[in-house]
A and B are shown apart, each in its own frame.
Chain A
Amino acid sequence: MTFTALTGDICTQPGVKAYNMTASGTIYKGQAVCLCAGMDDTVYVPGAEGSGMRVFGIADYTATHGEKIAIWGPYNICRCRLSGVAGAAVTAGTGVGMSWDGMLGVYSATAPRYSGAIVLDGGVANGGEGIVLLTGPYGYQK
């Protein structure tokens, strides 16, 4: 699924200041990002799912490769796009981790992810907009 950038304010309830990072590749407003291994203060959007991906935060605006980008990290409540898997609802209270194209998705035995956020406002179709509380890059893998 291609990610469509969100509009409006990404962080609905800031708890912690946004971090100043550098974009690796194009990152769209509202995409969840991971830290780049071996690169200082650089974040990227994984193109595909895979184990070991941890949610660092959500992009405050769109940036291209090498540009500075503000990332909302743990302890902030932010808007994002949510993805589900067959039979799993993305509803309030659901834990989510890094999914395709910067979306946050539910985890299951067939789609294990490190938890990185809790859905506060969901109930949306695949790729729809939701609101999450970011809980940090180190969650248990489920």
Chain B
Amino acid sequence: MTWDTTDLADYNDIIVQDGVFAYNYTASGTIYKGQAVALVPGMDNTVMVCTSNAGVCDSIGLATMGATNGKQISIAGPGNICWACVDAAEAVNTPLYGDTDGVYDAAPGNATRVSAIIVSLPALVTTAYVGKVLVL
């Protein structure tokens, strides 16, 4: 799925129910509000959006704001219920894995762990399915 920068831009708060404080990371490349991010291998406290599923795309959370390369960025990690883009209208309780373009996918691909679970049924918003997930 290709990320549409308008997908979650209109959502005032990515975090729907805050369970844990958001973490402070540095962005590698441009990251849009609401994208799921992965840690950059070998770099301290730096996150990125996977552009291919060739490597591990395990997501560690969702960007609560947009940021460009090198800027600080707030990431909602495990324990938070957030708005997120998913690959399709997955059912409640479906386990999700990190995928390319900051979107969660029900198919593991090369991911090694479950990164989130569907809390409410995603609906089609413009070009993407948007629903609430519990970040794990």
Residues in chain A within 8 A of chain B (CB atoms):
15-17, 19-20, 34-41, 52, 54, 73-75, 136-138
Contact = CB atoms under 8 A, between A and B. Distances in A.
Interface string B101-129: 00000000000001001011100000000
B66 interface: no
Contact of B117 (A17, A40, A138): A138
Contacts of B120: 39-41
B8 interface: no
A75 B79 contact: yes
A41 B95 CA distance: 17
The 10 A-B pairs at the shortest CB distance, nearest first, are namely A16-B19, A16-B79, A37-B92, A40-B120, A138-B95, A138-B114, A17-B19, A35-B92, A19-B17, A138-B117
Nearest to B121: A38
Given A16-B20, A35-B92, A37-B92, A137 B117 contact: yes
B68 interface: no
A134 to B, nearest CB: 11
Chain B, interface size category, equals: 10 to 19
B78 A35 contact: no
Contact of B18 (A15, A17, A35, A36): A17
B132 A40 contact: yes
B19 A19 contact: yes
Nearest to A38: B121
A49 to B, nearest CB: 16
B134 interface: yes
A38 B119 CA distance: 9
A54 B114 CA distance: 14
A20 B17 contact: yes
B9 interface: no
A113 B81 CA distance: 24
A128 to B, nearest CB: 28
Given A40-B132, A41-B119, A137 B19 contact: no
A37 B17 CA distance: 19
A73 B117 contact: no
Nearest to B19: A16
Nearest to B136: A136
15 contacts: A17-B17, A19-B19, A35-B93, A37-B121, A41-B119, A73-B79, A74-B78, A75-B20, A136-B117, A136-B136, A137-B93, A137-B134, A138-B95, A138-B117, A138-B136
